[in-house]
A and B are shown apart, each in its own frame.
Chain A
Amino acid sequence: MIGPDGQPRPGCDRVVKILEGLGGAIEDRQRSAELAIQAMGITFTVYSEGENIDRSWPFDIIPRVITTGEWDRISTGLIQRLTALNAFIDDLYHDQRIISEGVFPADVIASSVNFRPECVGVSPKRDIWAHICGSDLVRAGDGVMYVLEDNLRVPSGVSYMLENRAVTKRVLAEAFFDLDIHPVDSYPNELRTMLAELSPRDIEQPVLCVLTPGIYNSAYFEHAFLAQEMGAYLVEGNDLYVDADDRVFMRTVDGPVRVDVIYRRIDDAFIDPEAFRKDSALGVPGLMRAWRAGNVALANAPGAGVADDKVVYAYVPDIIRFYLDEDPLIPNVPTFLCSDEAQRSHVLANLDDLVVKPANESGGYGLFIGPKSTAAEKVTIREQILADPRNFIAQPTLQLSTAPTLRDSHVVPRHLDLRPFILSGSTPYVTQGGLTRVAFVEGSLVVNSSQGGGSKDTWIVDPATNPQQPTTDV
């Protein structure tokens, strides 16, 4: 929002003026926001000391601002990316053209933990596998937005994007009169429309379910929220069963009810103990049979996570060129593959400056941050890389951008990232902005809410439009 010269960036001057106009009252607004969050019951779940605790969602009222011009380019770039990734996943489970034509190495797939042989030959509707994707974007020191990773399994956070806006509208209402801020609340409706399109039965009102691991899952709030907003059933594994004709039913008081579309918020490995992990009590035995028979749609499709691999990430620019014959609109962060000998020695020689990530973890687990690491940690990561080079990638430590954030009565710069959500329906959809996550600790790059991170509302603002003169406050 603020440039290096201390002046508002282009398009942000009106936002800055409104916030400055608040003066000391900004703290009251922050307090109102926190009270609203409590009253609205917006929580996330932390598991600690053997107990699940619902904590209030940590939130900063100063919004993150992006102009419409830049957002339009990013949206187009994200749709391009997902179009290519879906083509890639579909190709992997069919002809593997990208491998036979020498663009993508076969051994990456052979060693991928998220490639599901059970999915080979299956053709989901319109050949779409990753219906819902959350891609993490960061702005680096050069001012450019990069894609940091794509979450194609069960990305979460969209409910907080919606709740952040609801809270901000309560406590900074005047800004919404004065500025042209793009609305975000159409997401649940877009999601419902996209899911309903997937129905295998051609009926007016297909039965939609959100499949959750249950109340102890950290994202349960979001599962319940989305189900409610979409008018879908919130179900757990044992609410569903698959009959002898490979159809899925849900157990209700009125008897069995046929299910058409399942928005599953459970990882592949747990969705069907018949097909995958036998010890899973979360899934539905026979679900894969029903899906392969085309009797039920699963979003995202099983096996879509193969593109979630951080080694695949390194190839996304090539993937875009291969399937779409276009240049990528949003750049990747330069990535070194430890499986490649030359790149590996570069990584091992420059551990001090690099971030090393395991290829198939999510939620920031197993992250090694070179500049902040101890000597012992360097020894450990070196051993891990050498033992299993396929499973590690490295990237330069990015100088993440900051945004003004209210901490202890002062407005201070804090690092942030952005997770927009992309729906790959018949008309692709990208959220207006997304979930901005911010590291509350000075200098920290960790934005996870469980580790001292918080979030902000994200405003896509058109600097060109000239909204009506603000009416005088009475």
Chain B
Amino acid sequence: MLLSRLAEHVYWAGRYLERAESTARLLRVHTELYLDMPRSVSSGWRPLLAVTGSADTFEEVGGSRDEGVVATEEHQIVKFLTTNLDHPGSVLACLTAARLNLRSVRALIPRSGWEVANSLLLWAKDEQDLAVPRRSRVEWLDEIIRRCQTLAGLLDGTMSHDQSYAFMKIGRHLERADMTTRVIDVQSQVLLGHRIGDGTLPYADVTWMGVLKSVSAMQMFRRVENAGVSGKRALRFLLCNPQFPRSVDHCLTELSRRLLELPRHEEAMAACAASQRVLVDGPLDGLSGAELHDLMDELQRSLGRIHTAASTTWFAPPAMVTRREDPRPRAAAGQTQTQRQRVS
């Protein structure tokens, strides 16, 4: 029998690990893409804030001036997203939150998993000076991604596939699906005044390739589609390909598998099925920027409803008539589902 509190901790550990890794991945790809993009069409670094939903937080805490010198926008944004602990979505803050959640469930995870999680955070902290400078940034990000993958693999391979494991996977896949929709959503701004597949968007192939690369999908896309990159194919691949592990459809299928293992899963399963229906029903061809944005928005809201269902079913204390006090606010890791404010 798994305590609700512990289920919530493993769930958030899964989410934060995934968030750290996908943010690192995103930054790594963007750094490379930035070098390829003609200056005239480069949208700079701000789209990263849009993807991670952190533009508002950036205005509040991110525009730091290091050592009294006004840093470049690139410097500021990269620092904000990698090592700024005032930003709860930075790679370092996510790793810290993941470790804090794992610490509470040490008894549930293999000891080696805990040690890897610990050394991951220690490394990220000790080497944080590497994160921002262009010459070392990719090295830092690669190491973070590698270590996150090591941890995920280790847990997959050594942890019993019991309820706590199911909650970790649910957190991971919910976060992953969310990230994929956010990466796609950036395209809705690029598409302004154009429609997917109408052949009028300059550098359409380059920008869609960027989207695919941001979720490490480029190679798999080529193998499966056996065709050049187009908006229509890229979008279909990222949303509906059942085999690619970062496609929204794949994440939802994994999610429903894990949900089925849990008791009292009806509400969460219904929410998951509703998300899958959005995918099936949504017309993907010829979308305008605004329509694409609406679709992603709808998907994200439906993912949010899966979280809410999980939270009320398994995590939240049942409202007891005899309770005379509100339950203690969960102080664990400052975790919020809505921490990413949408930017549209």
Within 8 A of B (CB), among A232-247: 233-239, 241-244
Q: How far is the CB of A473 from chain B (nearest CB, A)?
A: 32
Would you call A239 and B107 a contact (CB within 8 A)?
Answer: no
CB-nearest residue of chain B to A246? B322
- A243-B320, A252-B4 as given contacts; A285 in contact with B107, CB under 8 Å: no
- A255-B263, A286-B322 as given contacts; A238 in contact with B3, CB under 8 Å: no
Q: Tell me the bound Cα distance from A253 to B322 in angstroms.
A: 21
Q: How far is the CB of B165 from chain A (nearest CB, A)?
A: 12
- Select the residue from B5, B103, B104, B324 with max chain A CB neighbours within 10 A: B5
Does residue B325 face the partner (Cβ distance < 8 Å to A)?
yes
Contacts of A281 in B (CB 8 A): 328
Contacts of A369 in B (CB 8 A): none
Interface of B is mostly: loop
Within 8 A of A (CB), among B310-341: 314, 317-318, 320-325, 327-328
Would you call A253 and B1 a contact (CB within 8 A)?
Answer: yes
Interface residue from B1, B103, B324, B327 paired with A252 (Cβ < 8 Å):
B1
Does residue A442 face the partner (Cβ distance < 8 Å to B)?
no
Contacts of A235 in B (CB 8 A): 3
Q: Tell me the bound Cα distance from A215 to B104 in angstroms.
A: 7
Within 8 A of B (CB), among A196-244: 215, 224, 227-228, 233-239, 241-244
Contacts of B106 in A (CB 8 A): 224
CB-nearest residue of chain A to B313? A253
Would you call A250 and B3 a contact (CB within 8 A)?
Answer: yes
Interface residue from B314, B318, B325 paired with A253 (Cβ < 8 Å):
B314
Q: Tell me the bound Cα distance from A215 to B9 in angstroms.
A: 13
Q: How far is the CB of B184 from chain A (nearest CB, A)?
A: 33
Contacts of A251 in B (CB 8 A): 3-5, 317-318
Within 8 A of B (CB), among A17-76: 41
Total A-B contacts with CB atoms under 8 angstroms apart: 66
Would you call A215 and B322 a contact (CB within 8 A)?
Answer: no
Tally A residues with Cβ within 8 Å of B: 29
- A235-B3, A242-B322, A286-B322 as given contacts; A254 in contact with B317, CB under 8 Å: no
Does residue A273 face the partner (Cβ distance < 8 Å to B)?
yes
Does residue A274 face the partner (Cβ distance < 8 Å to B)?
yes
Q: How far is the CB of A274 from chain B (nearest CB, A)?
A: 6
CB-nearest residue of chain A to B2? A253
Q: Tell me the bound Cα distance from A253 to B6 in angstroms.
A: 9
Does residue B264 face the partner (Cβ distance < 8 Å to A)?
yes
Q: Tell me the bound Cα distance from A103 to B61 in angstroms.
A: 68
Q: Mark B88-115, 1 if CB is under 8 A from A, else 0.
A: 0000000000000001101100010000
Does residue B262 face the partner (Cβ distance < 8 Å to A)?
yes
CB-nearest residue of chain A to B320? A241
Does residue A256 face the partner (Cβ distance < 8 Å to B)?
yes
Within 8 A of A (CB), among B272-331: 314, 317-318, 320-325, 327-328
CB-nearest residue of chain A to B317? A251
Would you call B107 and A224 a contact (CB within 8 A)?
Answer: yes
Q: How far is the CB of A314 from chain B (nearest CB, A)?
A: 40
Would you call A254 and B263 a contact (CB within 8 A)?
Answer: yes
Does residue B7 face the partner (Cβ distance < 8 Å to A)?
yes
Q: Tell me the bound Cα distance from A102 to B263 in angstroms.
A: 61
Would you call B4 and A253 a contact (CB within 8 A)?
Answer: yes
- Select the residue from A228, A243, A250, A254 with max chain B CB neighbours within 10 A: A254
Would you call A273 and B325 a contact (CB within 8 A)?
Answer: yes
Contacts of B327 in A (CB 8 A): 238
A–B complex contacts, Cβ < 8 Å, 10 sampled = A238-B328, A244-B321, A251-B3, A252-B1, A252-B4, A253-B3, A254-B264, A255-B264, A256-B318, A286-B322
A-B pairs, top 7 by smallest CB distance, nearest first, are: A251-B4, A253-B2, A281-B328, A252-B1, A244-B322, A254-B263, A253-B7
Chain A residues in the interface with B (C-beta under 8 A): 41, 215, 224, 227-228, 233-239, 241-244, 250-257, 273-274, 281, 285-286
